[in-house]
Chains A and B, each alone.
Chain A
Amino acid sequence: MTQEVNETEEDIILAELADDELVEQMHDDLYDGLADEIAEGTQILLDRDWGPDKVLEKALVSGMNIVGVDFRDGILFIPEVLQTANAMKAGMAILSPLLAEIGAEPVGKMVIGTVKGDIHDIGKNLAGMMMEGAGFEVIDLGVNTLVEDYITALNEHKPDILGMSALLTTTMPYMKVVIDELKSQGMRDDLIVMVGGAPLNEEFRKAIGADTYCRDAATAVEVAKKMVGERRAIAT
């Protein structure tokens, strides 16, 4: 598949494309997970005096929308989605410092980890990578994460979202331990707490006082975008 794409690769010189064509090409390149091309395209647009926020919005974020749709429809498989996430990351690597400079709001930031006592990380990794694909900055704390580790990371990175994963009925309740600690440290309201993992459900989310439970990583991306947007709207 990638081979076919590569065959014609020489034919296109990104720098020669008009803005709208380039953006469209970047949408396709994102879709096809071509990280180098995305980095190149991002740079070209910046060189053409596009602001980093505009590049992010027009070339990258809107290009990723179709990825979500096609994943849901079973057109894109997970390894492909992760390729697109990788391409997105390549663009973000260039844009992030610039966005910070102009004080533009980044898409969002998430700290994620599998809770204490639990080593299941496939789902957590997927959720993290998909979030990166949507332009979020993701700090992954790995597995077996203690409440102290969560708190330290939250203080250090000041994320919009705390994501917790658990696959065991025995470890799920630890999420409540973390949330309670957030409350007692007065940090709870600064965060969107998002939880996931196969044995969880909505009822459990309510019981532990998390903000949202997401059944899968694709939903998580949608919900995260929405909730971060809402919070910002309220804040301003």
Chain B
Amino acid sequence: MRNENEEEKLTPEDFERVTIDAHHSERIEKPSLSFWQDAWLGLRKNKAAIVSMVVLLLVILMALIGPYLNGHAGDSQNLRHANLPPKIPGIEATGFFDGDGKLAGKTVNLYEMKKVDEYYWFGTDGLGRDLFTRLWEGTRVSLFIAFVAAAIDMVIGVAYGGISGYFGGRTDDIMQRVVEILIGIPTLIVVILMIMIMDPGITAIIVAITITGWIGMSRIVRAQTLKYKSREFVLASRTLGAKDGKIITKHLLPNMLGIIIINTMFTIPNAIFFEAFLSFIGIGLQPPAASLGTLINDGYKVMENQPYVLLFPAIVISVLMIAFNLIGDGLRDALDPKMKD
């Protein structure tokens, strides 16, 4: 209960009018950040993604310069130097990578036995080719295939999905029926047919990967286009008289870019893996060309006696897959529109 006396003591003088400056209330203190700056801040906090990016950059760097580092050419055969285990200067003293290998069940130093003076860091294969050089050449080819395939997937997928979603109606109906038919055919059959028609090689593999690979991207882009094209900011742009081209480049694409990038980040490792798979089952690259897939296939054949042939390409492909996936995850967390306004 209030005390009545106290209430009576209040006089108009006790009250002071507070005026809020209208301009003050409109002020925004926060520094202005664009969507991308904000996303970068988010990504930077994700340690796994940052470490993955560093590792990925190192692998890419090695793919570029690795083949020239030790003076051996990847395709020079030397049967006298065949099946040598890894031997790395400096580390050999520790007992690892010292050139010891098994011969008829006994451990011997094959370099001394065969009187080889050179060092083969990751050993040699059955034809005496330097595996270190071949590993990075193969990585380069695998990455190249993956990047090109992902880029083509992206271009076709974005264009197809964008057109289908933006123009809608009959166009959309027809285009979506085509997609449904393509999806109905098992990828592997399409790929094997493609490779039978074309000469096996990098081009054939890229075509094989992209021929159905763009569908995922096109579906995502179509859904995004449908979502954004009826947003009020797009309607506002149309009432101002903007043309379709302007609406697509200024309003739709910038809003979808995040999702396109995320999806591409997951396409790349899939392409790497798919290429390796094709090469492993023998319908991919043909010798003497190397890719991670063919190297793993070579290593798999001699897994029991020369495990190092399998070991290094397997490590590289695993690292690539993990790195791309972690970066993709990090990007998704940083760019996902659902977590922002």
Do A and B assemble together?
Answer: no
B residues with a Cβ closer than 8 A to A are none
